[in-house]
Amino acid sequence: MALDPTAREANVRDSLKKYFVDTFHPTYQLTFDRGMATPRIQGNLELDIDKWIAVNFGPLDRGDMGEHWLRIYCCTRRDNEGFKLAQLGDAVMGALSDTSQTDGMRRIDLYRSYQSQAWELIGALLVQEILESEQYEAEDETKYKILNVRLRWSAKI
C-alpha cells in the first residue's frame, strides 16, 4: 500500500527546497543537507562566496499531525562585526514568519512533487517554532548562527 502524499518525506523535502530556492535564490546561495558546507558554484572559488544559507533536514514524525525539524545555518565570511550575519538572519527570520497572519506563523505550500509533470498543491507546512542561537565563529572565520525550525502539518497515515 502506498503512503498518502501528505505523509511522504520526499514531498516535504521537495516543497521546502522549492520554498527556499524561490525565496532566496539568487540573492543568497543555498545548500541542502551538507552541514555548513560552502556552496559549490561553477566558476567561483568557495572563498568568493561570503553569504549563504545551509538547510539541513532533521527528525521527521509522520503522525496525524506531522512534525519536521529543520536546522538552518546562516553563514557569512569577511564580516568583521557580524553585520552581514545579522542582515542574513533577519532575511531568513522574515521568510519564516508572516505578519499578515494573526498568529504570525508562515505557511509553506506542501506539494505532491513529480519528476515529469506539474506539482499538485496538497496542503501547507506551518512554521510553529523557531529557536535562534547566538553568533558563532568557525576556525575558517565563518560567522554563523543556527535556526532550529519546527514545522507541523496535517498528514494522513
What are the tens digits of pLDDT across the range 33-54? 888 877 776 555 555 789 999 9
- CATH, residue 58: 3.30.2000.40
**How many folded domains does the chain comprise?**
1
Q: Which domain holds residue 11?
A: 5-154
Q: Rounded distance, CA 88 to CA 54, Å?
A: 12
pTM of the model: 0.92
CB-CB contact of 24 with 59 (8 Å): no
- pLDDT for 136 beyond 90: yes
Q: Rounded distance, CA 111 to CA 13, Å?
A: 10
Position 49 scores a pLDDT of: 86
Q: Rounded distance, CA 54 to CA 10, Å?
A: 18
How confident is the prediction for the chain on average, in pLDDT? 93
Q: Is 83 left (phi over 0), alpha (psi -120 to 50) or beta?
A: alpha
